Amino acid sequence: MVFVPPPRPSPRAQELGRRLGDVVDQYRREHPDLSGMEIRQALRLAHRDSAARPAIIVLAVAAAVLGGALAAYSRKPGAEGSGFPVAIFAVILAILVLWVLFKRLR
């Protein structure tokens, strides 16, 4: 098994990490009973508020559009044959697009 180390943080990420650390340290001095769990929860909430909402909206819109395409192609009234192969293709395409969007927005 080959181990690939994670990429090094960019200078901006390092600067942001230092600033966040300073803010957490200052808050800890003001509130000595602050637990590590509370810090993790706060960081999760901050990340969710800043990045997760647009990601969820984009994923939801993409799923709705691809779901609509699936419904349109697989249920044509009066068409000969089955729409099943087209439906499978649409589902695979929807999964692929959603996976790519999810990976890019993480």
Q: Where are the domains of the chain?
A: 11-105
Q: What was the pLDDT predicted at 51?
A: 54
Q: Are 59 and 66 in contact (CB under 8 A)?
A: no
Does the pTM exceed 0.85?
A: no
CA gap 28, 35 in Å, rounded? 9
Q: Over its length of 106 residues, how does the chain's per-residue pLDDT go in tens digits?
A: 777 788 888 999 899 889 988 998 999 999 999 888 888 888 888 776 555 556 666 676 777 777 666 666 666 566 555 566 666 776 777 777 777 767 766 5
Q: What was the pLDDT predicted at 79?
A: 58
Q: What was the pLDDT predicted at 98?
A: 73
Q: Which residue matches tokens 């080959």?
A: 2
What are the angstrom distances between the C-alpha of 1 and each of 4, 73?
A: 10, 43
